[in-house]
């Protein structure tokens, strides 16, 4: 079971749970986003949840996220292709690498 679902179903506050497993509250949010806790923290989470949330749950979520196509970055424009003229000019003065250095 995912940690966020366990917290919701058990009516446990994030702040209280973070205190119980001895991590900062911000770390709980990072776990929601995919950060995998350290081994000793995972063990504390398993104990605090009565075994409902295990190490396998964190790794299964990570594998699932990795199998998803990447989402476009928010706030970052893709690199224009081809390069704009001012950038082409900056590279025009570069010399080709000698063959003996390229190998």
pLDDT per residue as tens digits for the range 53-85: 999 998 888 778 777 776 666 655 665 555 555
Cα-based torsion angle of the residue sequence 65, 67, 68, 69 in order, rounded to the nearest 10 degrees: 130
DSSP element (H, E) containing 62:
helix 55-67
Cis peptide before 82, with omega less than 30 degrees from 0? yes
- Is the sign of the CA dihedral 56, 17, 28, 39 positive or negative? negative
**Confidence band, pLDDT 50/70/90 cuts, at residue 89:** low
pTM assigned to the model: 0.64
CA distance linking residue 10 with residue 52, whole number of Å: 11
Across 90-101, average pLDDT: 56
């Amino acid at each position: 079971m995912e940690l966020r679902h366990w917290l919701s179903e058990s009516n446990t506050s994030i702040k209280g749970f973070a205190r119980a497993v001895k991590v900062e509250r911000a770390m709980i949010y990072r776990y929601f986003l995919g950060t995998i806790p350290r081994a000793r923290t995972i063990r504390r989470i398993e104990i605090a949840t009565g075994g409902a949330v295990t190490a396998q749950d964190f790794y299964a979520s990570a594998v699932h996220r990795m199998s998803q196509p990447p989402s476009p970055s928010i706030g970052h424009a893709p690199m224009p292709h081809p390069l704009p003229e001012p950038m082409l000019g900056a590279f025009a003065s570069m010399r080709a690498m000698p063959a003996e250095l390229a190998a």
